[in-house]
Amino acid sequence: MCWGTLSMYANRLPDEAAFFLYLLEQYARHAGITAPEALNKWDAAGATGQIRKNYDIYHAEALTNAFAEIDAMLEVGQRPAGPSHLVTSSVQASTCAGSI
């Protein structure tokens, strides 16, 4: 499970950052891609900042709702903010390879 790869550091992060990592990895599983690939897609669509801003909503609802909203953002190529500052998109693609 990929969550274990990044989550070993989650207890040292603020709640929003830990949840962002969790959401990223769960979204990657949902999309059938690696977490770095998912982050690259979010960054390319300019959606990463909005996803981070939606912490209050996403952490309190079913992840499937967050996934649907993220998918919609990616479809329209929303660009409300720049790339993530919580996790760098230069993470090696092999970080979560084979974990899906």
- Residue 13 structure tokens: 């992060």
Give the per-residue pLDDT at 10.
Answer: 60
Mean of the pLDDT values across residues 64-85?
Answer: 75
Mean of the pLDDT values across residues 33-52?
Answer: 94
The confidence band for 94, taking pLDDT boundaries of 50, 70 and 90, is: very low
Q: Where are the domains of the chain?
A: 28-96
What pLDDT digit, counting tens, does each position of 12-28 carry? 778 898 899 999 999 99
